[in-house]
Amino acid sequence: MSDSASLVEYRGNCHCGAFQFTFKSAGLKPTPCDCAICSKNAYLWVHPAPDSFTVVKGDENTTLATYEFGNKVLGHKFCPTCGTSVMGRFHQETHGMTVLLNARALHDVDFASLPQGETYKGSAIGSPYQPPEPVATGPVPEGSTVYNGSCHCGAVAYALLSPEKLTSARECNCSICWRDGALWTYPATANVTFRGLESATEYAFAAKVTQHGFCKRCGVAIYEQWLDEARETALNVRTFNNVDLSSLEIEKEDGWGKMQPQYEVPA
């Protein structure tokens, strides 16, 4: 069998469907990276077979926004409407690659059955990530804990004044939460102080009762708020700075199975 005959075609898209693509691969082995931007976005990287990446709707350079930082080797591309982080584009061929695709943007893929690649130690490259200045909270009551968080570029930051230590987070597999790679905690809105919300974009779909907030500059998903439940604000724990996620109990939520009608890729 030829190499081309063994390739499988996969399809992917941002959540709102403005950008859609196909590519071929001999088999998916999504690879996480522990650098700051990849950790906040929970990227699962795959690279397509040479010359197989095809955009079928939208345009990589005009439909998607591009975020670069540091030495600007890789442009991180996300949808400015729904916030889905879709892909990365190297300015020069790196390790034989020019394009990386976020496997979270794929559909009709059973991720639980896939092998996962060894975590790439991106954190060891370049200077250590420096989070933005913490958001001021005022006096901290005895026994409370302050958690500081932000998007990657620091345009949107927050402080959570929590009456108890964070010990768990929730991972939802619905179409938007999976694409965002979010781990959620649900504090009282009154305990969260934001800075820079003018730099956030909110995306809603279907019944439009949930606002999904992400940074319009770097694309990192930060929070959720509900029109019918203003007392709580969901925060993406991946955006907490200096929190060891491996120490948390991760609760699985079957949002995909519960949400009706189920998500379909927009035409």
Q: Say whether pLDDT at 108 is over 80.
A: yes
pLDDT exceeds cutoff 80 at 5: no
Where exactly are the structural domains of the chain?
4-123, 145-258
Span 174-223, pLDDT tens digits: 999 999 999 999 999 999 999 999 999 999 998 899 999 999 999 999 99
The H-or-E segment that residue 178 falls in is helix 175-180
- Say if residue 45 is exposed, middle or buried (CB neighbours under 10 Å; 0-12, 13-18, 19+): buried
Condensed to tens digits (0 to 9), the pLDDT of residues 113-169 reads 999 999 999 999 889 999 999 999 888 999 999 999 999 999 999 999 999 999 999
Neighbours of 43 (CB within 10 A): 26
Span 145-258: which CATH code?
2.170.150.70
Structure tokens at 72: 């600007």
pTM confidence score: 0.94
Are residues 18 and 81 in contact, defined by beta-carbon separation less than 8 angstroms?
yes
* Token pair in block for residue 131: 């989070």
| More reliable by pLDDT, 127 or 63 | 63
| Coil/strand/helix, residue 75 | strand
Q: What is the mean pLDDT of the chain?
A: 94
- The rounded distance, in Å, linking the Cα atoms of 86 and 12 is 9
Q: pLDDT tens digits, residue range 130-143? A: 999 999 988 899 99
Residue 121's SS3 state is: coil
* Contact between residue 84 and residue 78 where contact means Cβ atoms under 8 Å apart: yes
Task: Give the CATH architecture of domain 4-123.
Answer: Beta Complex (2.170)
Give the integer Cα–Cα distance in Å for 147 and 53: 40
